[in-house]
Amino acid sequence: MNQYQVTNMIYIVKCVILATTVPLVAGHFGYRKRDQHTWVQNFKLCDGKLQSPISISSFKSITLPLPALEIIGYHDFLSSPLYLKNNGHSVVVNVNNHLGKRLPYIFGGSLDINQEYEVDHLHFHWGAKNNRGSEHMLNGIRYPMEMHIVHRNRIYSSLSNALNYKNGLVVLGIFFQEEDNKSLYSIVNHLTSVRWINNETKLNTSITLGSLLPKNTDVFYSYKGSLTTPPCNEVVTWIIFSMPVPISFSQLNKFRLLSNGNNLIADNYRKLQNIGLRKVYIRKLNPHLFVKYNEMTFNVADLDWFWH
């Protein structure tokens, strides 16, 4: 292979990587109340009827014996190099730029039958104080931080392509509550290197996505919603785990030092959206439900996501 071919090959690989790391956020936007009111002026989809986040209530959710959410590859170490980046709205770890290796993926649960969703990236939302930070609320509680692990439907070629389809994305929502968490060290210890907007650093320790999940993933809530940042595409099936993951006060404070160049990024969560006619399902397994559904797990093809 001559020098010209080598140069071309490098260029093609770079283009492929860029094509698979399209950010979910679009343009400039802020999280202050007056800023969030202007989102719809620049991003019309933010005024839709299926917007996220929402307030979730156990009492108003519909309990079903849904199949288990199958999580494949989450306990394997992610291929290196992994990079942590401050994009001005959050800190992001892109997982989708490892060519030639099957990425972790999920299926089952409340998701469409025979559909697999491959991990793309993860990011965080947090508050300046411990009484706020998460985007979703659960039973009136707003946790100090929420992590989103974003997955793309494998039938679509890229994240930007998936944004055009109602079944394009699945996002796992994980709450955090105050308690030390050694599994977060690999990310938290690098936050000082990405204090300023567009700072990026290589993670020098191996991580597994499984180490970032709650110990119990059997119980989860699910509903149809949107991206929580502009352009607010309504293409997300949300899966919110009921059990939070620990994070210490000192670990939270390291997130709170991050800056977008003008202000601290803390309080980077969207205001709650109207749930409208949407249903929220909760997966639980108990004897009563098994009898009700003839001792079979519920067929997700029969799910109706909206009240009529």
- Residues taking part in catalysis: 89
Q: Which run of H or E residues covers position 252? A: helix 249-256
**For residues 239 and 170, is the Cβ–Cβ distance under 8 A?**
yes
Paired tokens of 235: 């293409």
**For residue 240, which of 259, 266, 213, 201 has the smallest C-alpha distance?**
213
Query: Would you call the peptide bond into 214 cis, given omega within 30 degrees of 0 as the criterion?
Result: no
- The answer to whether 39 and 230 are in contact (CB under 8 A) is yes
Measure Cα distances from 280 to 64, 90, 170, 221, 283 in Å.
11, 27, 15, 7, 10
Pull the structure tokens for residue 114. Answer: 């025979």
Radius of gyration of the chain (CA): 19
